[in-house]
Structures are given as C-alpha cells and as structure tokens.
Amino acid sequence: MVDFQIDDTVDITDVVCPLTFVKAKVAIEELEDGKVLSVKLNDGEPVQNVPRSLKEEGHQVLKLINNGDGTYNLLVKKVEE
C-alpha cells in the first residue's frame, strides 16, 4: 500500500449537488501543483461523479478509500494546468 502525503482536506459529505463539484473544484484550485487533496464524500452519486469530474479536468485520481460508514476519501493530485 502506498501512503500519500495529504496537503489539504475538504469535506463535502451532506453537501447537495452541484455544490459537491464546486467545493471540490475550489479546494483543488487553491492547492499548488503536485499537492494532494483528500475529498471526503458520500456513497452514491458523489462517489460516482466527483472523481470523474476532477479527472476530466486533468487532475490525477490517486486512490478512493472506503471508510466503511457510507463515506469515502478520494485522494487527488493537482496536475499543472
């Protein structure tokens, strides 16, 4: 298992779509290139759509961790635009 240094965290559990995308996008835009963001999100639609959305913007999805409580932590590395 590879451990990643997490540089910032954003919790978007209990946030209604499309604010989930907005909060995740703002959080990663505030990071420096190469830094890792941990996004805590709910199962279901957020876990299906937020990783894809960030990947489409060119960021690197490193890992999706199931917390076992209906939430996940998504680790995303900011890629230079």
- Catalytic residues, which ones? 17
DSSP 63: E
Q: Give how far Cα 54 sits from Cα of 1, 37, 61, 68, 77, Å.
A: 23, 11, 8, 23, 10
Neighbouring CB atoms inside 10 A of 23's CB total: 17
